[in-house]
Amino acid sequence: MLEQLNKLPRLPTLAAFRSLSPLARREMQHGMLFISIWIFGFFAFTFVPMVATLFFSFLNLKITDGILSTPDYAGIENYMRLVKDPLVWSTGATPGSFWVTVRFGLLALPVGIIVPLILALLMNSPHLKGQMLFRTLFYMPYIVPFVAAIYLWGGMLNPETGWINRTLMYFGMAKESVPLWANDESWVYPAYVLMGIWGVGNAMLIMLAGLQGVPTELYDAAKSDGANGWQTFWNVSFPMISPVIFYNVVLSIVGLFQYFQVPLVVNQGTGRPGGHTFFYNLYLYKTFFTYQDMSYGSTQAWFLFLIVLLVTLVLFSTAKYWVHYSGEAR
Amino acid sequence: MNRRTIRNLKLGLNATYITGLSLALLIFYLAPFGFMVFTSLKTSGQISALGSPIWPAKSASFDYNGASTEIYKVPVANCAGFDANDTAIKNLAAVKKGRQQTTFVDPANLEAGEFICKVSWRALDRPWVWAAAWENYTEVWKAINFPRLMWNTTYYAIMTEIGVLFSCTLVAFGFSRFRFPGRDFLFTILISTIFLPGFVTLIPTYTFFQKIGWVGTWLPLIVPSFFANAYDVFLLRQYFMTLPRELDEAAMMDGAGPLRILWSVIIPQAYPALVAITVFHIVFAWNDYFGPLIYLSTNRQAWPISVALPIFNGIYGSQPQLIQAGALMAIVLPLCLFFVAQRFFIHGIVVTGVEK
């Protein structure tokens, strides 16, 4: 899916349209007619709202008691506020929501790539009996609606009655030293990561399909060269599935920058404990829905968009160094 | 042993290791399901009792001469008729309770009759026996008005499903069967919308829907689904591209128009992809929390299960057995659907993830 984006097709020239034969013109009319459904939706629900958000960010628009204030031009005031906002950037001991997001991402991203990769390698092992059953069961939790999964894991991670702490205590951990998970500043991210681990099924399946697509000749060649297991993985499997890993890295990073539904439900969006779950998007959500500040919310949204765009572009520019596309693009 | 036997033995060992490791991981991975089932069947008495077992249980009792008596764990050394050095602990039914001494009967040995032990029954523990509190489910069923939530969620899933199938099929057909300048450029834009953070379009969209009075109705959730989305279009387009063009061309020779070709040539061949996006979408709708939260939270009659569950949790937070029963009821339907349609599911994921 991503290779499509790697080589951005050029915009067609006017000459290309002029030189169309009547038959080709008819084909174009038909094709455009079918696509127009999406084009209309794209303008109505994506393009125009995006431009409107940008426009709002340069105004001063608030809703007070359900009445929209008369807009006045604010220049870059909102952006200046964002740059200095202590709720976005850390000051002293209080973590800013941007850094909360980044810090959580630094923990969640590697887990979200390595765990499904390990599972996929296990599922791909010729020694595994009942591969289909394992694959289905490891995938299954992905289907569980996320709100239900949160309550399930919330129960599992309950400091007193949850099975995780019961297991820790069973293996001799003192009752006073077991983690408090969602109520503890240093354990809340691992708790969220555990809740998220149920979503790895998708990435696992994609990576597994990638691994199964590796031609066996390559493995045979590595074997005859005397490569051990790790060397085979690093020099054969990994390059061959690097497009799939790249796809997952990009989607995970984009998703992590928008992470906020879990803290919204688990810690009721309060940012407890100690502001450590006050994610950037949670702040954005509150700016608009709680404080009804449309302009500042729009500013935050555009800033988020620019950050995501920048990170994605950087990722794509690194792709040529480590992502291996074999064969011709379709 | 010859070399072949050694080799087979080694392979067998590897299989045991790998399968055993996978099984251990799987047990850990799926343990929360066990937690959910067990907790949802506990009584509130057991939840608050310290040291109660992790499985659903109640304190043991025994029917003695038509009356229910409580069973205790009694060190028999204090009892009449037992050796004072006996360290055994027996499960005995208390017939007559007293502060200094209690009259017991052994349910396993009724012929021995009643006997007195010099223990205070208050100091004794009671054994637990398996007992499932199925009534938790009926309680949750009524408390959250489960049929209504199911209906709302299903309604949301079906209405948006119609939109997705209708629009994505047409758009994917347009992208896969017609050549014209700018097509690939448009397709790239379509794909790139996957990376667009939702909030960058939300504020004007929400404000607009509020202005025209749609907030509190299903419309802001249903109407956009009729204008195609990148994932499903991509999946369908990839599938359509694999279908041979000869049949299209034959139909065209017979004078069939594009719609006719789509309806009678493409769609009958593409049913695996159509089934895949159908089940994906149902799972998506069941899972969707944020959309219904912002557009429907003022209209309690329309809440789907994802919005109702956190509110139910807020009210019944002190009763984990009901929370877990509610969570279980919310996941039964998507899980059943998954097991019925898993073949299509898994294939669909592979197409979106692996194909370029």
Q: What is the pLDDT of residues A25-65, one digit of tens each?
A: 888 899 999 999 999 999 999 999 999 999 999 998 887 77
Q: With an 8 Å Cβ cutoff, is B223 touching chain A?
A: no
pLDDT at residue A160, as a whole number: 82
Residue B215 phi, psi dihedral angles, 5° rounding = -70, 130
Nearest residue, CB atoms, A49 vs list B19, B201, B349: B201
Task: Collect all residues of chain B within an 8 Å Cβ-Cβ radius of residue A32.
Answer: 174, 180
Q: Which residue of A has its CA nearest to B15?
A: A127
pLDDT at residue A330, as a whole number: 35
pLDDT at residue A110, as a whole number: 95
Task: Collect all residues of chain B within an 8 Å Cβ-Cβ radius of residue A24.
Answer: 179-180
Task: Collect all residues of chain B within an 8 Å Cβ-Cβ radius of residue A298.
Answer: 203-204
B21 and B153 share one domain = no
Helix count and strand count (H, E) for chain A? 17, 4
* Mean pLDDT of the B212-238 span: 93
Q: Which of B34, B289, B210 is nearest to A141 (CA)?
A: B34
Task: Collect all residues of chain B within an 8 Å Cβ-Cβ radius of residue A148.
Answer: 309, 327-328, 330-331
Within a domain: B115: yes
pTM of the predicted model over 0.90: no
Task: Collect all residues of chain A within an 8 Å Cβ-Cβ radius of residue B204.
Answer: 48-49, 52-53, 56, 298
Task: Collect all residues of chain A within an 8 Å Cβ-Cβ radius of residue B25.
Answer: 119, 122
Structure tokens of B247?
Answer: 């049949």
Which of B25, B201, B342 to mutate to probe the A interface, most A CBs <10 Å?
B201
Report the CATH architecture of A76-322: Orthogonal Bundle (1.10)
Decide if B228 contacts A41 (C-beta within 8 A): yes
Q: In the predicted model, is pLDDT for residue B26 greater than 90?
A: yes
CA distance A302 to chain B (A): 6
B185 and B294 share one domain = yes
SS3 B71: strand
Residue pairs spanning A and B at CB distance below 8 A: 288
Partner-chain contact A31 B306, CB within 8 Å = no
B257 and B116 share one domain = no
B242 and B308 share one domain = yes
B121 and B168 share one domain = no
Cβ within 8 Å of B, A 79-108: none
Q: How far is CA A216 from the centre of its chain?
A: 32
Within a domain: B55: no
Partner-chain contact A5 B192, CB within 8 Å = yes
Between the CA atoms of B184, B188, B191 and B195, what dihedral angle is there, to the nearest 10 degrees? 180
Top pLDDT among B22 and A66 is at B22
Q: In the predicted model, is pLDDT for residue A329 greater than 80?
A: no
B200 and B310 share one domain = yes
Neighbouring-strand partners of residue B59: B128
CA distance B107 to chain A (A): 32
Within a domain: B51: no
Domain hosting residue B100, numbered range: 61-126
Three-state SS for A94-163 is ECCHHHHHHHHHHHHHHHHHHHHHHHHHHHCCCCCCCHHHHHHHHHHHHHCCHHHHHHHHHHHCCCCCCH
Q: Which residue of B has its CA nearest to A146?
A: B287
Q: In the predicted model, is pLDDT for residue B356 greater than 50?
A: no
B251 and B191 share one domain = yes
Within a domain: B46: no
Q: With an 8 Å Cβ cutoff, is B75 touching chain A?
A: no
CA distance A37 to chain B (A): 6
pLDDT category, A1, cuts 50, 70, 90? low
Top pLDDT among A193 and A2 is at A193
Angstrom distance (rounded) from CA B222 to CA B50: 49
Q: With an 8 Å Cβ cutoff, is A147 touching chain B?
A: yes
Q: With an 8 Å Cβ cutoff, is B47 touching chain A?
A: yes
Q: With an 8 Å Cβ cutoff, is B298 touching chain A?
A: no
Q: Which residue of B has its CA nearest to A42?
A: B227
Residue B176 C-beta-side C-alpha neighbours within 13 Å: 25
Kindly list the domain boundaries of chain A, sorted by start residue: 1-56, 76-322
The gap between the terminal CA atoms of chain A, to the nearest Å, is 10
* Mean pLDDT of the B218-237 span: 93
Angstrom distance (rounded) from CA A269 to CA B121: 48
Per-residue exposure over A219-234, b if at least 16 CB sit within 10 Å of its own CB, e if not: eeebeeeebeeeebbe
Task: Collect all residues of chain A within an 8 Å Cβ-Cβ radius of residue B11.
Answer: 127
Q: What average pLDDT is seen over chain A? A: 87
Which one-letter DSSP state was computed for residue A233? I
Confidence check on the interface: ipTM exceeds 0.95, yes or no: no
B234 and B342 share one domain = yes
Antiparallel, parallel or unpaired: β A59-60 and A72-73:
antiparallel
Decide if B60 contacts B71 (C-beta within 8 A): yes
B150 and B81 share one domain = no
Specify the CATH number for the domain of residue B234: 1.10.3720.10
Decide if A299 contacts A78 (C-beta within 8 A): yes
Structure tokens of B32?
Answer: 């929360």
Nearest residue, CB atoms, B197 vs list A5, A202, A257: A257
B192 and B339 share one domain = yes
In terms of Cβ atoms closer than 10 Å to its own Cβ (0-12, 13-18, 19+), residue A310 is exposed
Q: Model confidence over B115-135: pLDDT tens digits?
A: 888 887 777 788 888 888 888
Q: Model confidence over A233-244: pLDDT tens digits?
A: 898 889 888 988
Q: With an 8 Å Cβ cutoff, is B323 touching chain A?
A: yes
Mention every residue, 6+ apart, whose C-beta is less than 8 A from residue A205: A120, A135, A139, B346, B349, B350, B353
Structure tokens of A169?
Answer: 């205590």
Within a domain: B213: yes
B67 and B209 share one domain = no
SS3 A35: helix
Mention every residue, 6+ apart, whose C-beta is less than 8 A from residue B238: B273, B351, B355
Which of A10, A13, A29, A37 to mutate to probe the B interface, most B CBs <10 Å?
A37
B66 and B180 share one domain = no
CA distance A18 to chain B (A): 10
Mention every residue, 6+ apart, whose C-beta is less than 8 A from residue A239: A324
What is the number of domains present in chain B?
3
Mention every residue, 6+ apart, whose C-beta is less than 8 A from residue A215: none
Which of B8, B203, B238, B286 to mutate to probe the A interface, most A CBs <10 Å?
B203
CA distance B58 to chain A (A): 17
| Top-ranked range on mean pLDDT: pick from A298-302, B118-122, B325-329 | A298-302
